[in-house]
Structure 1
Amino acid sequence: MVEGGHQLADKTEFTECWRRTSESPYIMRLALSAGLGGLLFGYDTGVISGALLYIRDDFEQVDKQTWLQETIVSTAVAGAIVGAACGGYMNDKMGRKKTILMADVVFMLGAIVMAVAPAPWVIIAGRILVGLGVGVASMTSPLYISEASPAKIRGAMVSTNGLLITGGQFLSYLINLAFTKAPGTWRWMLGVAALPAVLQFVLMLSLPESPRWLYRQGKEEETRVILSRIYRPDEVEKEMKAMRDSIEDEKAEEGLIGHSLGQKLKSVWSNDVVRRGLYAGITVQVVQQFVGINTVMYYSPTIVQFAGIASNSTALALSLVTSGLNAVGTIISMVLVDRFGRRKLMLTSLIGIFASLVVLSVTFNQASHHAPAINKLDSLSFGGNNTCKAYTSAPNLASWNCMQCLHEECGFCANSKSEVSLLHSSTFVFS
């Protein structure tokens, strides 16, 4: 926890934030340097969606086996789970700064491994390393920002991390699009991720440790020196006192509930207020994941191609709309969250998500029922170029249409002029 708990930003706080950072650019430097961890998180989320299109082109086994595609995508998430679980312990033992530096090193190694990968399993290994780095950074970056920011603008500073996450997703689509014609395509897309990690590593070397962590280690003079660079001269002692009181209360609570994991869990479940808060927090997080946004971000270009767009670069360009609106939504939420409240804004967002999912379901259902039939003569006339074995060996070719081909992972439907679309009436299947 930070002094007084985690404060979310309101309009007044953003005004104060602008005033404070104008007086002392050092504060913004702290926030943006640590916030690059959010950028790494967002970039990793978005970059694989475009890179996967070209990985499938380079490795036939990945193109033909969907479980390999799913593994390449999901191993980063698995690594992030482990990284986030270890991040808390690392933060307490090593400090926030060293933890971020270590996460950057792991992320850089993962990006390099993916960029030079000679086989799919090496890409998977790189994805695991990247996930570990992202998992650690995703929890450490906002923690460092909150502890190294003045209390009056803490919420506004922490909000920059969320903005950088969605900004990183949008940036990943732009970079994917930029490398569609470059030799190596997906290798550049994945390898470029090392650059922000290197940048954050260099910037963090010149920044101090979290003042709160230093105070807990008994380093009061170092804490005071750092606070003097963050706070106004007349606020330093007041913040020192607030930090002292907060940490003493925290240690007292730890003494009551115990220091072991078992004792802490027992205390959580026996406290009605904490238990209800835990239920609410877990429910919100689960619902957020089950709406499908991660699937959209990871497979957006693939989904666009399933809608009939064959070109990888065109699919990536259209996917920019999704990531761009995601970033815009983050900005809107930052502006409106304190005007309308957290609960109302969340419920309104869920209604919009529900409506969007219904529209998508109806659209794809209609496409399935009205997809044009496949012409046997047009398809089989391409001989060896027709690689959809499921179609050529089907007992009833007349019953097939474009959507069925997509479900069989044949690739796309196209007419004899190779104009790929779900709208052409005379089609063949190729991959």
Structure 2
Amino acid sequence: MTIESLPGSSGYIDAGNRKITYFSNGYVLGLTVIAGIGGLLFGYDTGVISGALLYIKDDFEAVNNSSFLQETIVSMALVGAIIGAAAGGWINDAYGRKKATLIADVVFAMGSVVMAAAPDPYVLIFGRLLVGLGVGVASVTAPVYIAEASPFEIRGGLVSTNVLMITGGQFLSYLVNLAFTEVPGTWRWMLGVSGVPAVVQFSLMLFLPESPRWLYLKVINHKPLLCFLKFYDPCRLEEEIEQLSVALEEERQRKNSVGYWDVFKSKEIRLAFLAGAGLQAFQQFTGINTVMYYSPTIVQMAGFSSNQLALLLSLIVAAMNAAGTVVGIYLIDHFGRRKLALSSLSGVIVALIVLSVAFFLQPSGSSTGLYGWMAVLGLALYIAFFAPGMGPVPWTVNSEIYPESYRGICGGMSATVNWVSNLIVAQSFLSIAEALGTGATFLILAGVAVLAFVFVAVFVPETKGLTFEEVERIWKVKAWGSGYASEGLLEEGRES
């Protein structure tokens, strides 16, 4: 049996006499949406606090009088996410993707209840820590679970659906903030309602199987075969089982359990982790959460003093982010991960330069004018270029570049890098802008984006349309040279 990609498209393939598209298998698509609810929680939690904090300050005088408490309420969820992502890799490898998702849902729902009922800011901070832990575990689990259940030809688009859920969750959080502005207990509803998707996901996940690849490598009875029948047509089943048999034999030759230090002992795993973690760091350090967390502030810095206009433009930015991710879902399996990231970063560099120039040229203390609208244009360009590429690419690449035994732990470590970078950006942007000026700050971000472009060009391979096993071979060739590929082909020839 041969599987050949149609010209110019990796979203469709010939598998026997059948073409595979994103909608070919309703079961896989449903699993993707359900697993992606974790991304929705991720996005909602990062967006809702910006509106809720306005009303928390009204209820708690201590918060209103302390910028430190305000920063702690916002950032404690990021601290929790860092811990959750670090632990999530181990949980995924030890207990499986399904149980990791269920654990994340329980912790997140508990945190939502604690936040909604918080009698003082310190209990609220504890609730933020809990939801952060849940979000951290989910941010590791959802991309890996979706990737392992997806046919490789459409894996990028399906994993990117999780990123769409993240951006959709951010947009939803702004809508919820607006909906509850006139309701008694405003911020309690804003924060408490986030527990509903967690309960929904928990209920639906009970009816979904564990990742068949995780089950197969754990050699748990005949469950993997039954799971594979749900994910693949019979003409693909033999090929998948054969590839997993090879992977299982390699895993048996390794240690039974993989620790964090083991990631750095193997040259090919180090290279893969460098690419994955580097993408996650550059996703944040090129400024996406500067825009998402502080877009109303940036708009006001540009001379638009109206709070309502600033919030409206923030809603538009969030909508563009979600729409751009939809474009990315299409492009990532047609255009490729590496090309999409490079194109995205090229546009991001231009947009950040436009923003920088707008603030450099704006006269001090001036009201809205040409340069104010130039800054708004820069924000729009930034989101338009970032969302389809550097939004989904880091998560997709990290879900597919590691061998099975390292996929959970490396995914967790790279997600931790993302959350740590997120925290650094969230806590430093306003301080740097105040110290150096807004124009200089965006110019620094443009310089970081140039470094990101070089990094992707040098260290990130193209993985479009490749099986997990083919991706693993890329790293071995990068680590040990082209001689490895020749040796591998000779061994395959002898076996056949």
Pick closer, same or farther for the CA change 1:210–1:81 going to 2, 3 Å. same
Displacement after TM superposition at 1:88 (Å): 1.4
Between the aligned partners of 2:234 and 2:263, the Cα distance in structure 1 is 41
Q: Contact between 1:81 and 1:132, CA under 8 Å: does it hold in 2?
A: yes
Between the aligned partners of 2:334 and 2:233, the Cα distance in structure 1 is 29
Pick closer, same or farther for the CA change 1:90–1:341 going to 2, 3 Å. closer
Look up the equivalent residue of 2:320 and give its one-letter code: L
Which of 284, 290, 296 aligns to 1:295? It is 290
Q: Contact between 2:22 and 2:154, CA under 8 Å: does it hold in 1?
A: no
Which residue does the alignment assign to 2:11? Answer: 13
How large is the RMSD of aligned CA atoms in angstroms?
Answer: 2.9
Between the aligned partners of 2:73 and 2:282, the Cα distance in structure 1 is 24
Between the aligned partners of 1:18 and 1:71, the Cα distance in structure 2 is 51
- 1:14-413 aligned at under 5 Å gives the runs 22=23, 24-254=25-255, 259-262=258-261, 264-268=262-266, 271=267, 274-304=269-299, 307-311=303-307, 314-337=309-332, 340-364=335-359, 369-371=364-366
Number of residue pairs aligned between Structure 1 and Structure 2: 358
Which residue does the alignment assign to 1:423? Answer: none
Which residue does the alignment assign to 1:380? Answer: none
Between the aligned partners of 2:107 and 2:353, the Cα distance in structure 1 is 40
Pick closer, same or farther for the CA change 1:144–1:340 going to 2, 3 Å. closer
Q: Which protein has greater RCO, CA pairs closer than 8 Å, 6+ apart?
A: 2
Q: Contact between 1:53 and 1:302, CA under 8 Å: does it hold in 2?
A: no
Q: Contact between 1:13 and 1:155, CA under 8 Å: does it hold in 2?
A: no
Look up the equivalent residue of 1:97 and give its one-letter code: K
**Cα deviations by residue, 1:359-415 (Å, 9 ceiling, x for unpaired):** 44454566671358xxxxxxxxxxxxxxxxxxxxxxxxxxxxxxxxxx8xxxxxxxx
Q: Which moved more, 1:127-136 or 1:296-305?
A: 296-305
Between the aligned partners of 1:185 and 1:277, the Cα distance in structure 2 is 45
**Cα deviations by residue, 1:127-179 (Å, 9 ceiling, x for unpaired):** 11011000001111111112223344333322211211111111111111222
Question: Equivalent residue of 1:180, what SS?
Answer: coil
Unmatched tracts of structure 2, length 5 or more: 1-7, 368-433, 435-496
Pick closer, same or farther for the CA change 1:344–1:243 going to 2, 3 Å. closer
Q: Contact between 2:88 and 2:141, CA under 8 Å: does it hold in 1?
A: yes
Displacement after TM superposition at 1:126 (Å): 1.0
Question: Equivalent residue of 2:364, what SS?
Answer: helix
Question: Equivalent residue of 1:369, what SS?
Answer: coil
Higher alpha-carbon Rg:
1
Q: Contact between 2:96 and 2:210, CA under 8 Å: does it hold in 1?
A: yes
Between the aligned partners of 1:141 and 1:240, the Cα distance in structure 2 is 23
Q: Contact between 1:37 and 1:141, CA under 8 Å: does it hold in 2?
A: yes
Displacement after TM superposition at 1:24 (Å): 3.8
How high is the sequence identity, in percent, across the aligned residues? 53
Unmatched tracts of structure 1, length 5 or more: 1-9, 373-406, 408-431
Displacement after TM superposition at 1:19 (Å): 5.2
Question: Equivalent residue of 1:209, what SS?
Answer: coil
